[in-house]
Amino acid sequence: MSKVLIIGAGGVGRVVVFKCAQHPEVFSEILLASRTKSKCDVIAEDAKKATGHKHIATAAVDAENVPELTALIRSFGPELVIHVALPYQDLTIMEACLAAGVHYMDTANYEPKDEAKFEYKWQWAYHDRFKEKGLLALLGCGFDPGATSVFTAYAAKHHFDEIHYLDIVDCNAGDHGKAFATNFNPEINIREITQKGKYYEDGEWLEIDPHSVMKPLTYPGIGPKKSYLIFHEELESLVRNFPSLKRARFWMTFGDEYLTHLRVIQNIGMSRIDPVMYKGVEVIPLEFLKYVLPDPGELGENYTGQTSIGCRIRGTKDGKEKTYYVWNNCSHQAAYDETGTQGVSYTTGVPAMIGAMMVLTGQWQGKGVFNVEQFNPDPFMDKMNQYGLPWHEEVNGDLEFEK
Ligand code: NDP
């Protein structure tokens, strides 16, 4: 029985609250805090109604204000803070957890507001401070990073002596009926996918122009989809934690229409993250764009189709070459029926709840800063099957990738 503080009342926060509330035997008291308390209140009421959990409280907090957040943590006294606000707040929340003496976890690595560059270096630098305090900071526990990292650890543990080639494949074959919308925070999402692509090969990071490498890949239960090589943050920790990897890449599907909108947004300057003066007021075009795009948390109602995210791995076992594909498919409609939000928030929020459960039940323990693939994947994989993200595997099938 533990108290948790969940920070962030967006689509992902909603799923984390719902899923934690389904397990009062672990999450006995929940406090949901975000900048806008009214958003927390709606989620808390809906989750109480849906699950019968009696102890879900709410609070307003600016997670970039360390003293304010530290005071909130101290007054509630949780064992763990689950951070599902924005990556800009990673470091201030880690600071507050250190000050208040509680464990920390998140789903996305830190990125400075003025530079679209996400890297683990800022958060890994906290390792010694968390270690000295005997605290755990668990990084990247959504789906990708998160479940994909656990999939890789599971493959390495059970299927291979050495893993050599890793391709993470992320397909959203959903249709929300909007001309253009992002599936999670538009600002964070557009910053991520307009960056240069990057992958790891033979000890080096190789950069490519955005969306310049495309491959049609066939996703289970969905069929072929144009998939583009992009950089994704788990590649950085996976090549560090699995040094046998010769190559690691990440592929994401985008529709032609989506890419056309994205190109226009970039060409007309709406993806800029530097301030411009508009009628005497400083405006950051990308921040403004977020306000006119559909709210990802509200895409759910008429969202059809499914996501399919997995890892395609080639390596050796008992001296022989072997391939392995492990994946989860998630229906947007089923996610909406259960939690009132769409599949991308669902596939992020469920692993966050499971990661929190691993920490609070002592199945994942550590002092310092860790990525999820550093822990035993087995209990996490079991819980994925039980709590809404069942996975499937194929051994020695065609990965659609050469060596
Ligand atoms: P939303 O934009 O829907 O929600 C973010 C929430 O954070 C909002 O409630 C917002 O509050 C709150 N917030 C923002 N700034 C602050 C602050 N300074 N203090 C307190 N609260 C703040 O985002 P999503 O729910 O779509 O995504 C949440 C996180 O999940 C992101 O970090 C995203 O990168 C990550 N993610 C990870 C994935 C994975 O698989 N690993 C996949 C998808 C997302 P307010 O409403 O007041 O602005």
**What separation in Å is there between the alpha carbon of 13 and the centre of ligand 1?**
7
pLDDT of residue 184: 87
pLDDT-above-90 percentage for the chain: 93
* Residues 245 and 305 placed together within one structural domain of the fold: yes
Within a domain: residue 378?
no
Both 237 and 307 in one domain: the answer is: yes
Q: How far is the CA of 240 from the centre of ligand 1 (A)?
A: 27
Assigned domain for 17 exists: yes
pLDDT (tens digit, 9 = 90+) per residue, 182-208? 988 888 899 888 899 999 999 999 999
Residue 2 banded pLDDT, cuts 50, 70, 90:
very high
Q: Is residue 400 part of a domain?
A: no
* Mean pLDDT (whole number) for 168-176: 96
Q: Which residues line ligand 1 (CB under 6 A)?
A: 7-13, 34-36, 39, 61-64, 84-87, 89, 107-108, 142-146, 184-185, 188, 296-297, 344-345, 348
**Looking at the domain assignment, is residue 361 inside a domain?**
no
Average pLDDT, integer, range 150-178: 97
Lowest mean pLDDT among 29-33, 182-186, 275-279: 182-186
For residue 305, being part of any structural domain is answered with yes
pTM: 0.96
Torsion sign, CA atoms 125, 126, 127, 128: positive
Look at residue 297 in the predicted model and tell me its pLDDT: 79
The helix/strand/coil state of 360 is helix
d(CA 353, CA 79): 14
Residue 304 β-bridge partners: 175
Task: Report whether pLDDT(293) > 90.
Answer: yes
Are 213 and 153 part of one and the same domain?
A: yes
pLDDT of residue 325 exceeding 90? yes
pLDDT of 114 reads 87
* C-alpha count within 13 angstroms, C-beta hemisphere, residue 318: 2
In a domain, 402, yes or no: no
Task: Say which DSSP state 141 is in.
Answer: -
Find the farthest-apart pair of alpha carbons in the chain and give their distance in angstroms, rounded.
68
Chain-wide mean pLDDT for the chain? 96
Residue 379 lies in a domain: no
> Same structural domain for residues 156 and 122?
no
Over residues 356-366, the pLDDT tens digits come to 999 999 999 99
Considering the domain architecture, whether residues 159 and 291 belong to the same structural domain is answered as yes
Given this model, what pLDDT does residue 346 score?
A: 97
Q: Are residues 55 and 193 part of one domain? A: no
CATH label of the domain that carries residue 332: 3.30.360.10
Domain span holding position 277: 147-338+390-395
Q: Domain tally for the chain? A: 2
Task: Give me the CATH number covering residue 119.
Answer: 3.40.50.720
Average pLDDT over residues 226-232: 97
Q: In the listed set 109, 139, 169, which residue is the last one of a domain according to the structure?
A: 139
Same domain, 82 and 119: yes
Protein residue with its CA nearest to atom 4 in ligand 1: 10
How far apart are the two ends of the chain, measured CA to CA in Å? Answer: 48
Separation of CA 87 and ligand 1 centre (Å): 8
Q: Going along 183-319, which residue ranges are E strands?
A: 197-201, 204-208, 214-219, 223-230, 247-253, 276-278, 281-283, 306-317
pLDDT, tens digit, 9 for 90 and up, residues 137-153: 999 999 999 999 999 99
342 in Cβ contact with 176 (< 8 Å): yes
* Domain boundary residue, one of 97, 121, 139: 139
Q: Does 71 lie in the same domain as 87?
A: yes
For residue range 78-129, list pLDDT tens digits in order: 999 999 999 999 999 999 999 999 999 999 999 998 887 889 999 999 999 9
- Tell me: do 103 and 185 sit in the same domain: no
Q: Looking at residue 260, what is its pLDDT?
A: 94
Q: Which residue's alpha carbon is nearest to atom 30 within ligand 1?
A: 84
Q: Which of 112, 139, 166 is the last residue of a domain?
A: 139
Based on the fold, state whether residues 130 and 246 are members of the same structural domain: no
Q: Based on the fold, state whether residues 15 and 82 are members of the same structural domain.
A: yes
- Residue of 125 and 295 predicted with greater confidence: 125
